[in-house]
Amino acid sequence: MERFNIRSVIEGYTQGYFLMSEGDGEPIEWYYTNSRTLIPLDYRFRYPKSLQRVINQNRFEAKIDTAFEEVVAGCADRETTWISKELRSLYSNLHQAGWAHSFETWQGDQLAGGILGIAIRGVFIGESMFFKIPEGSKVAMVKLVDHLRTQDYSLFDAQLMNPHLERFGAFEIDDDSYQALLKQALTKSCNFIPISESVSTLSEIKKQTQ
């Protein structure tokens, strides 16, 4: 995995590439598409009224990075998966370096769903999502968009279109348009984990080690 050290991976993502594998035992490869799917962070973002009713019930709580490995495992737990064991290990390294994150929904003490992504300056790249409890990943998507807006992100890259993303107003753009938006978003300085939460977490760690 030498060719996929942290620096080279982040450099690849800032150029518009993303990583995938054909499965366990298969190599990780760079991929690039001539069109890109984006989740809108403006008025174009939408979702069904039935999902709003679920959100209004306050059954789910959003958290960041409290169960990263579980979210990666959930995203990979499919009959056919592109997240190989080697790629899972790479995501773990990216997480430890502060680049990869899990945006989670919880129902009580049970992980309901989550979104795996990579945050680079003003860009959030959604890698995969999953759910254990119905509506868990959908609520995660709505709350993640709210979070990205609050943190002043300008680009939510979902890579490839699928029917699930279309429900949220996802749209495709050509490569030239994508590169222009990517370049602009990379000039921003955004914090995926709010500063107040980072300070709080650090304080808790210090208490536990004293």
Is 2-209 in CATH node 3.40.630.70?
yes
The domain ranges of the chain are: 2-209
| Cβ–Cβ < 8 Å for 50, 184 | no
Q: Which structure tokens are listed for 132?
A: 């254990």
Does the pLDDT value for residue 207 go beyond 50?
A: no
Q: Which structure tokens are listed for 206?
A: 């210090």
pLDDT of residue 80: 80
pLDDT of residue 98: 96
pLDDT digits (tens, 9 = 90+) for 180-192: 999 999 999 999 9
pLDDT of residue 1: 39
Give the separation between CA 103 and CA 111, rounded to whole angstroms.
11
pLDDT of residue 134: 94
pLDDT digits (tens, 9 = 90+) for 66-109: 999 999 999 999 878 899 999 999 999 999 999 999 999 999 99
Residue 61, Cβ neighbours under 10 Å: how many?
13
pLDDT digits (tens, 9 = 90+) for 9-44: 999 999 999 999 987 878 899 999 999 999 999 999
pLDDT digits (tens, 9 = 90+) for 61-71: 999 999 999 99
| Cβ–Cβ < 8 Å for 87, 25 | no
| Cβ–Cβ < 8 Å for 83, 75 | yes
